[in-house]
Amino acid sequence: MTFDAARRKEHEDQFAFRFVYDLRNYTQHSELPIKSFTLDWKADLDKQGDPVGHTGTAALKFILDPAELLANYDKWHRLVRADLAGMSHPLDVIALHTDMLASLTRIQLAVLKSEWPRIASGARAMQGLTSCLRHDALRPMLHDEDGMPLEEPPVDTVALVFAMLARGEPSRPDELLDPQFGWALMRQAQMGDMASGRVRSA
């Protein structure tokens, strides 16, 4: 499944995904529509019900009003507009973002499953080119959100892919599902394509 196909599926199936997707445009072009926020604190208690030191659990909520969202912005997707029009309760932004992250994880996994044969093939080609080097000497070139190289990449992508190949191609690409790993895997596939002559480097 391609990224666009996976994204469209989440958009059609998951309210949180399509709402937060549009909410990003709302906040960029209109305003930050926080109606109110609450911070609840529950102290840790001992067996007698007395507070234990100064520790506890905090719960933060940012609340949005569906009626105000509709009234103040006219560029909602038709599905989101219908969702909001049918709501009589406020929306908790943090809870919605938790559901949104679950959608992003499903999209990433769908793309990894679709691209895994290419990723594995690319890794084999890279392994052939670097077989004379120690694997622990290989590190991927990863960049931060500003495009600057990371001096200490959080994931040793090349070594990890090689280790997976050494015990056979995984039947479950979700074994490789890591918040910092998906982009590096796709880059690994591109490098492998170039190494095996399927594409030319610019």
Which distant-in-sequence residues (6+ apart) come within 8 Å of 193 by Cβ?
A: 118, 122, 125, 199
At 20-72, the pLDDT tens digits run: 999 998 888 777 777 666 776 777 777 777 777 777 777 777 889 999 999 98
**What does R_g of the chain's alpha carbons equal in angstroms?**
23
What's the pTM? 0.59
62 phi/psi in degrees, rounded to 5: -110, 120
Structure tokens at 39: 């911070």
Lowest mean pLDDT among 24-33, 102-111, 152-161: 152-161
Letter for the amino acid at 159? Answer: A
C-alpha distance across the termini of the chain, in Å: 27
Decide if pLDDT at 109 tops 50: yes
- Which of the given ranges, 1-5, 110-114, 173-177, has the highest pLDDT on average? 1-5
Euclidean distance between CA atoms 175 and 17, whole angstroms = 24
Strand ranges across the sheet with 51-64: 36-45, 51-64, 91-92
Q: How many CA atoms lie within 13 A of 109 on its CB side?
A: 12
Q: Output the furthest CA–CA distance in the chain (Å, rounded).
A: 71
Identify which of 140, 20, 157, 122 has the alpha carbon closest to the alpha carbon of residue 80. Answer: 20
Decide if pLDDT at 99 tops 60: yes
72 phi/psi in degrees, rounded to 5: -100, 0
Letter for the amino acid at 19? Answer: F
User: In b/e form, how buried is each residue of 157-171, taking b as 16+ CB within 10 angstroms?
Assistant: bbbbbbebeeeeeee
Euclidean distance between CA atoms 43 and 13, whole angstroms = 38
Q: How confident is the model at residue 55, as a pLDDT?
A: 75
Identify which of 175, 157, 162 has the alpha carbon closest to the alpha carbon of residue 125. Answer: 162
Q: Which residue has the tokens 């604190």?
A: 41
Q: How confident is the model at residue 190, as a pLDDT?
A: 52
